Amino acid sequence: MNKKLIVANWKMNPVTYKEAEELFRFVEKGMRDIKNAEVVLCPPFVYLPMLARLFSKQFCAGAQNCFYEQGGAYTGEVSPLMLKDIGCKYVIVGHSERRQYFFETSEIVNKKLKAVIEAELKPILCVGEDTRDSFDSKGHWTHELDPKVKEQLVLMLNGIPKSKIGEIVIAYEPVWAIGTGKPATGDDILSAKIFIQKVISDLYGRKVSQTMRVIYGGSTDSKNAAVVMKEGQADGLLVGGASLDGEEFVRMMKCIAL
Ligand code: PEP
């Protein structure tokens, strides 16, 4: 059985390194008996070099973002090669908050994706529609109503060779489910996964689409994680809010990956 991928996105939290290290140590201790998960913690950039030294094989460091050049005169930016150098393994690219607050387009995400792959890091590529309008009155996902996920995928994967596709983890993150307390249902997630696999299959062939990991993110917690994972056939979770509460996050991992 493939290990589940559990990604904690701390976003711009906590506000002191002391708190970050406490949370880190709590999670690290709590996950010692977790066997079936690869856990990726994505703290803010400033904590990464200190925390990256403490990670182990099953528990690794990820970044929440990066720039698309590896070095140069780009004030305030952090490059994939820098992340690689301090021991990061994964980078989240295309998170909806980057689109919303920092005006990232799919074309920019595409450049970031290429830079992450070039630096031999694993990208966690976020896709997702804005509203729940893409579901019909019976709650079935009507893909035709919202071509956004397809458009995002096609633009973001533009120019990525087939040989590199297996390294990408797709995070299905419907914007309407992020931080709202209203997660997508197992059915929603499964429909989305099948849809994403179809788009990948059309672009790269069926075999590639079947091996690609598709994880889910949006208002997951210890109460819904097991159901969401099982019914949605998700290969893992991208967790925001719940990953900031050490006890809750450890409970969540235990529900899905003991
Ligand atoms: C996210 O921002 O990627 C996310 C999944 O957040 P939350 O779990 O808080 O909905």
All structural domains of the chain with their residue ranges: 4-257
Give the pLDDT of residue 136. Answer: 66
The pTM assigned to this predicted structure is 0.95
Determine which one of 38, 95, 97, 129 is catalytic.
95
- Cα first-last separation, the chain: 13
Give the pLDDT of residue 133. Answer: 66
pLDDT tens track for 110-142? 999 999 999 999 999 999 998 876 666 666 666
Residue 105: name the closest of 93, 117, 114 by CA.
93
For ligand 1, whether the C-beta of 183 sits within 6 Å is: no
pLDDT tens track for 50-87? 998 888 766 899 999 999 999 999 999 999 999 999 99
- 173 as an active site residue: the answer is yes
Residues in Cβ contact with 46 at an 8 Å cutoff, skipping those fewer than 6 apart: 17
For ligand 1, whether the C-beta of 174 sits within 6 Å is: no
Thinking of the domain 4-257, which architecture would CATH place it in? Alpha-Beta Barrel (3.20)
Burial call 4-17: b when 16+ CB within 10 Å, e when fewer: bbbbbbbbeebeee
Residues in Cβ contact with 85 at an 8 Å cutoff, skipping those fewer than 6 apart: none
- 143 as an active site residue: the answer is no
* Segment 17-27 mean pLDDT: 95
Q: Is 72 left (phi over 0), alpha (psi -120 to 50) or beta?
A: left
* Segment 82-96 mean pLDDT: 97
pLDDT band at 145 (very low <50, low <70, confident <90, very high): very low
* Segment 210-238 mean pLDDT: 96
